[in-house]
Protein backbone atom coordinates (compact mmCIF):
# COMPACT_ATOMS: atom_id res chain seq x y z
CA UNK A 1 0.00 0.00 0.00
CA UNK A 2 1.19 3.50 -0.83
CA UNK A 3 -0.24 6.92 -0.06
CA UNK A 4 -1.75 7.06 -3.53
CA UNK A 5 -3.32 3.61 -3.22
CA UNK A 6 -5.05 3.22 0.15
CA UNK A 7 -6.36 -0.20 1.07
CA UNK A 8 -10.07 -0.48 1.67
CA UNK A 9 -11.14 -1.73 5.07
CA UNK A 10 -14.01 -3.54 3.30
CA UNK A 11 -12.89 -7.02 2.23
CA UNK A 12 -13.07 -7.57 -1.52
CA UNK A 13 -13.78 -3.94 -2.37
CA UNK A 14 -11.38 -2.44 -4.92
CA UNK A 15 -12.00 1.30 -5.43
CA UNK A 16 -9.71 1.30 -8.49
CA UNK A 17 -12.07 -1.11 -10.29
CA UNK A 18 -15.05 1.28 -10.17
CA UNK A 19 -16.40 3.02 -13.27
CA UNK A 20 -19.04 5.71 -13.73
CA UNK A 21 -22.45 4.33 -12.80
CA UNK A 22 -21.12 1.69 -10.40
CA UNK A 23 -22.47 1.49 -6.88
CA UNK A 24 -20.26 1.25 -3.84
CA UNK A 25 -21.16 -1.43 -1.27
CA UNK A 26 -24.16 -0.60 0.92
CA UNK A 27 -23.72 -0.32 4.67
CA UNK A 28 -26.77 -0.98 6.85
CA UNK A 29 -26.30 0.47 10.31
CA UNK A 30 -27.91 -0.78 13.50
CA UNK A 31 -31.16 0.91 14.54
CA UNK A 32 -30.62 4.43 15.91
CA UNK A 33 -31.19 4.43 19.66
CA UNK A 34 -32.04 7.29 21.98
CA UNK A 35 -28.73 6.51 23.71
CA UNK A 36 -26.85 7.00 20.40
CA UNK A 37 -28.50 10.39 19.99
CA UNK A 38 -27.77 11.57 23.54
CA UNK A 39 -24.17 10.35 23.40
CA UNK A 40 -23.62 12.30 20.19
CA UNK A 41 -25.24 15.37 21.73
CA UNK A 42 -22.87 15.18 24.68
CA UNK A 43 -19.82 14.71 22.48
CA UNK A 44 -20.79 17.61 20.20
CA UNK A 45 -21.95 19.96 22.95
CA UNK A 46 -25.37 20.32 21.26
CA UNK A 47 -27.79 19.52 24.07
CA UNK A 48 -30.90 20.93 22.38
CA UNK A 49 -33.78 19.14 24.18
CA UNK A 50 -35.63 18.60 20.88
CA UNK A 51 -33.23 15.66 20.40
CA UNK A 52 -33.88 13.86 23.70
CA UNK A 53 -37.06 15.24 25.34
CA UNK A 54 -40.33 14.05 23.74
CA UNK A 55 -42.39 16.72 25.50
CA UNK A 56 -40.13 19.48 24.23
CA UNK A 57 -40.18 18.02 20.71
CA UNK A 58 -44.00 17.92 20.84
CA UNK A 59 -44.02 21.68 21.52
CA UNK A 60 -42.30 22.05 18.13
CA UNK A 61 -44.90 19.89 16.40
CA UNK A 62 -42.85 16.68 16.28
CA UNK A 63 -44.16 13.27 17.34
CA UNK A 64 -41.07 12.61 19.45
CA UNK A 65 -37.46 13.61 19.89
CA UNK A 66 -35.33 12.96 16.80
CA UNK A 67 -31.69 12.47 15.94
CA UNK A 68 -29.06 15.14 15.45
CA UNK A 69 -28.39 15.00 11.68
CA UNK A 70 -24.65 15.30 12.12
CA UNK A 71 -24.63 11.89 13.84
CA UNK A 72 -25.57 10.20 10.57
CA UNK A 73 -23.34 12.55 8.56
CA UNK A 74 -20.47 11.28 10.71
CA UNK A 75 -21.45 7.68 9.97
CA UNK A 76 -21.54 8.53 6.25
CA UNK A 77 -18.06 10.05 6.46
CA UNK A 78 -16.74 7.02 8.35
CA UNK A 79 -18.27 4.75 5.72
CA UNK A 80 -16.31 6.65 3.03
CA UNK A 81 -13.10 6.48 5.08
CA UNK A 82 -13.56 2.71 5.51
CA UNK A 83 -14.06 2.24 1.78
CA UNK A 84 -11.44 4.60 0.35
CA UNK A 85 -9.07 5.39 3.22
CA UNK A 86 -9.23 8.66 5.18
CA UNK A 87 -6.39 10.29 3.24
CA UNK A 88 -8.26 9.76 -0.04
CA UNK A 89 -11.24 11.92 0.87
CA UNK A 90 -10.79 15.30 -0.78
CA UNK A 91 -14.27 16.78 -0.31
CA UNK A 92 -17.42 15.70 1.53
CA UNK A 93 -20.75 17.56 1.62
CA UNK A 94 -24.16 16.68 3.01
CA UNK A 95 -27.71 17.95 2.83
CA UNK A 96 -30.34 16.87 5.36
CA UNK A 97 -33.82 15.95 4.12
CA UNK A 98 -35.77 13.93 6.73
CA UNK A 99 -35.51 13.43 10.46
CA UNK A 100 -34.20 10.17 11.87
CA UNK A 101 -36.29 8.88 14.75
CA UNK A 102 -35.22 6.50 17.51
CA UNK A 103 -35.53 2.99 16.08
CA UNK A 104 -34.84 4.00 12.46
CA UNK A 105 -32.38 1.85 10.53
CA UNK A 106 -30.35 3.61 7.86
CA UNK A 107 -28.63 2.19 4.81
CA UNK A 108 -25.69 4.19 3.47
CA UNK A 109 -25.00 3.92 -0.26
CA UNK A 110 -23.39 5.69 -3.14
CA UNK A 111 -22.87 5.78 -6.90
CA UNK A 112 -19.90 6.88 -8.97
CA UNK A 113 -21.00 9.98 -10.91
CA UNK A 114 -17.68 10.97 -12.51
CA UNK A 115 -14.13 9.67 -12.78
CA UNK A 116 -11.10 11.36 -14.31
CA UNK A 117 -7.36 11.31 -13.63
CA UNK A 118 -7.68 9.19 -10.48
CA UNK A 119 -10.32 11.44 -8.92
CA UNK A 120 -13.80 10.02 -8.37
CA UNK A 121 -17.04 11.92 -7.70
CA UNK A 122 -19.67 10.11 -5.66
CA UNK A 123 -23.34 10.79 -5.03
CA UNK A 124 -24.33 9.46 -1.61
CA UNK A 125 -27.47 8.76 0.36
CA UNK A 126 -28.48 7.68 3.84
CA UNK A 127 -31.87 6.01 3.37
CA UNK A 128 -34.35 5.22 6.16
CA UNK A 129 -36.01 1.79 6.32
CA UNK A 130 -39.22 3.28 4.84
CA UNK A 131 -37.33 4.49 1.74
CA UNK A 132 -37.15 8.12 2.82
CA UNK A 133 -33.83 9.86 2.24
CA UNK A 134 -32.33 11.35 5.39
CA UNK A 135 -29.11 12.62 3.77
CA UNK A 136 -28.06 13.42 0.27
CA UNK A 137 -24.33 13.72 0.03
CA UNK A 138 -21.46 14.22 -2.37
CA UNK A 139 -17.82 13.27 -2.08
CA UNK A 140 -14.66 13.61 -4.10
CA UNK A 141 -12.11 10.87 -3.47
CA UNK A 142 -8.69 10.03 -4.82
CA UNK A 143 -8.41 6.48 -6.19
- pLDDT score of 2 more than 90: no
Instruction: Compute the residue count for the chain.
Output: 143
- Non-local CB neighbours of 143 within 8 Å, separated by 6+ positions: 15, 16, 18, 84, 88, 115, 118, 119, 120
Domain that residue 100 falls in: 17-142
Domain total of the chain: 1
For the segment 4-53, what is each residue's pLDDT rounded down to a tens digit?
444 566 778 999 999 999 999 999 999 999 999 999 999 999 999 999 99
Model-level pTM?
0.89
- The dihedrals phi and psi of 131, each to the nearest 5 degrees, come to 95, -10
CATH number, domain of 99, equals: 3.10.129.10
Amino acid sequence: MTKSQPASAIAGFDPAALVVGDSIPDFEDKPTSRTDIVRYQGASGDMNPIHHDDGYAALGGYSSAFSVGMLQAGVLGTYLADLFGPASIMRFRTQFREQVWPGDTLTYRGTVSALADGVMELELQAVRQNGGVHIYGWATVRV
